[in-house]
């Protein structure tokens, strides 16, 4: 994301730019990195990009150990504030300026409008207008190419390309790709199609939409059967699990029937057993239980106490009625579950709506920078 400043522990800057600025050495302990960032934005009229995936080894507090300072000295704080109060072109130096973007797309409720809305949420409604006229827009973005008719008189024109259908809007696809200033391909396959129509690489950027952040590995455990008065089925145990944020962050509990205060999955019994990762048996007393046997027949392990027939068969055990022990078992299983699926889920790192919006902001900034050079 673009921010007013980043820590001096790890900054990448062109040498010629650093030589034109240098650190303000009047700070006693800290603050010169903030001053450097703000001076950079002031002198070069550029923004600061924070890259969360970049890593480095930093020896922390080395300066403070030398000076014996545990807090930021008042004079350093005042100097930081002096920098932060500066104005640049009439705007606060700490204000991250974003491009003015006009997006033309379909109506609300459809996926392409969602694409536009996510860019608006990230860049701020004051910087993005969807399906509105905006002569002052610096970027005119068409999601997708089918909404493009003619280039506006002002601003850079960008179109989004999803897929190419030879039987539908094929000519429109090719014509738009050549007329707009830049093409956003939703996949490498689409980028290759654009290249096949002689669209140069310099005019193509691939931005994948990805998935919402709530699409991630979670351990799913299922409850089968009714609840009973008296607590024999462990209703209170389930409630304790639902009230624990450490559990709800990693474990999803579902049931076949109402009464457990969890989502109900209306599936045939066998399909339910096959759909969950584990069957959860919270009971304190059972003769069977039958669901335990049914789940095992479907190849699904149960998390269960040593009651009834359970000790005779494979299961993940916890002491009868011991919520603390059950929580520990669930968290361990949830962590193992995530690790087992890491190879696949890690491929989606950064490929979510936030990443989609950030990649567009980076592209819009680059296009405006290219335009400033001409």
Across the strands, what pairs with 207?
none
- Domain membership of residue 68 (yes or no) is yes
Of 32, 60, 92, the position where a domain reaches its end is 92
- Domain membership of residue 366 (yes or no) is no
pLDDT of residue 47: 86
Q: Are residues 193 and 263 in the same domain?
A: no
pLDDT of residue 211: 82
Higher pLDDT, 66 or 255: 255
Q: Are residues 177 and 74 in the same domain?
A: no
Residue 243 · residue 323 · CB < 8 Å: no
Q: Are residues 194 and 236 in the same domain?
A: no
- Domain membership of residue 238 (yes or no) is yes
Structural domain tally of the chain? 3
Of 156, 190, 211, the position where a domain reaches its end is 211
Average pLDDT over residues 30-57: 90
Which 3 state secondary structure label does DSSP give 264? strand
Of 40, 75, 92, the position where a domain reaches its end is 92
Q: Are residues 230 and 207 in the same domain?
A: no
Q: Are residues 157 and 229 in the same domain?
A: no
Q: Are residues 240 and 292 in the same domain?
A: yes
Interatomic CA distance for residues 123 and 97, integer angstroms:
9
Q: Are residues 226 and 325 in the same domain?
A: yes
Four-point Cα dihedral 159, 358, 337, 288, nearest 10: -70
Higher pLDDT, 252 or 96: 252
Phi and psi at residue 258, to the nearest 5°: -65, 165
Tens of pLDDT, residue by residue over 328-369, are: 999 999 999 999 998 888 888 778 998 899 999 999 999 998
- Domain membership of residue 370 (yes or no) is no
- Domain membership of residue 374 (yes or no) is no
Q: What is the CATH number of the domain that holds 272?
A: 3.40.50.2000
- Domain membership of residue 369 (yes or no) is no
Tens of pLDDT, residue by residue over 110-160, are: 999 999 999 999 999 999 999 999 999 999 999 999 999 999 999 999 999
232: confidence class by pLDDT, cuts 50, 70, 90: confident
Interatomic CA distance for residues 284 and 304, integer angstroms:
10
User: For residue 316, what are the domain limits?
Assistant: 219-340
Rg (CA), the chain: 29
- Domain membership of residue 300 (yes or no) is yes
Widest pairwise Cα distance in the chain = 81
> Which of the given ranges, 71-75, 248-252, 283-287, has the highest pLDDT on average?
248-252
Tens of pLDDT, residue by residue over 60-116, are: 777 777 777 778 889 999 999 999 999 988 888 898 889 999 999 999 999 999 999
pLDDT of residue 144: 93
366 to 71, 99, 241: CA distances (angstroms): 39, 10, 49
Q: pLDDT at residue 263 above 80?
A: yes
- Domain membership of residue 147 (yes or no) is yes
pLDDT of residue 136: 94
Q: Are residues 280 and 304 in the same domain?
A: yes
324: confidence class by pLDDT, cuts 50, 70, 90: very high
């Amino acid at each position: 994301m673009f921010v007013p400043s980043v820590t001096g522990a790890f900054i990448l800057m062109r040498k010629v730019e650093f030589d034109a600025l240098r650190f303000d050495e009047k700070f006693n302990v800290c603050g010169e990195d903030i001053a450097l960032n703000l001076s950079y934005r002031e002198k070069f009229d550029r923004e600061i990009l924070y890259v969360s995936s970049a890593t480095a080894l930093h020896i922390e507090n080395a300066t403070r150990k030398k000076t014996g300072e545990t807090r930021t000295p008042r004079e350093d704080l005042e100097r930081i504030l002096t920098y932060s109060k500066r104005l640049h072109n009439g705007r606060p130096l700490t204000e991250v300026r974003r491009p003015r973007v006009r997006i033309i797309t379909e109506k609300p409720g459809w996926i392409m409008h969602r694409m536009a809305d996510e860019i608006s949420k990230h860049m701020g409604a004051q910087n993005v207008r969807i399906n509105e006229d905006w002569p002052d827009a610096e970027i005119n973005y068409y999601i997708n190419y089918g909404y493009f008719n003619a280039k506006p008189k002002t601003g850079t024109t960008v179109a989004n390309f999803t897929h190419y259908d030879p039987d539908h809007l094929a000519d429109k696809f090719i014509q738009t790709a050549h007329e707009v200033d830049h093409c956003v391909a939703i996949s490498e396959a689409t980028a290759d199609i654009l290249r096949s129509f002689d669209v140069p690489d310099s005019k193509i950027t691939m931005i994948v939409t990805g998935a919402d952040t709530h699409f991630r590995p979670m351990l799913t455990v299922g409850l089968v059967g009714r609840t009973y008065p008296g607590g024999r089925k462990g209703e209170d145990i389930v409630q304790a699990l639902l009230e624990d944020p450490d559990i709800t962050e990693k474990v999803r509990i579902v049931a076949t029937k109402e009464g457990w205060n969890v989502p109900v999955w209306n599936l045939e019994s066998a399909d339910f057993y096959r759909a969950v990762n584990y069957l959860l048996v919270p009971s304190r007393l059972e003769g069977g239980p039958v669901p335990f046997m049914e789940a095992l027949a479907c190849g699904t392990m149960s998390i269960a106490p040593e009651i009834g027939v359970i000790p005779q068969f494979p299961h993940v055990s916890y002491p009868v009625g011991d919520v603390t022990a059950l929580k520990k078992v669930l968290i361990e299983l949830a962590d193992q579950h995530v690790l087992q699926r890491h190879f696949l889920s890690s491929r989606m790192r950064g490929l979510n709506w936030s990443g989609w919006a950030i990649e567009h902001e980076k592209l819009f900034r680059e296009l405006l920078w290219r335009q400033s050079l001409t």
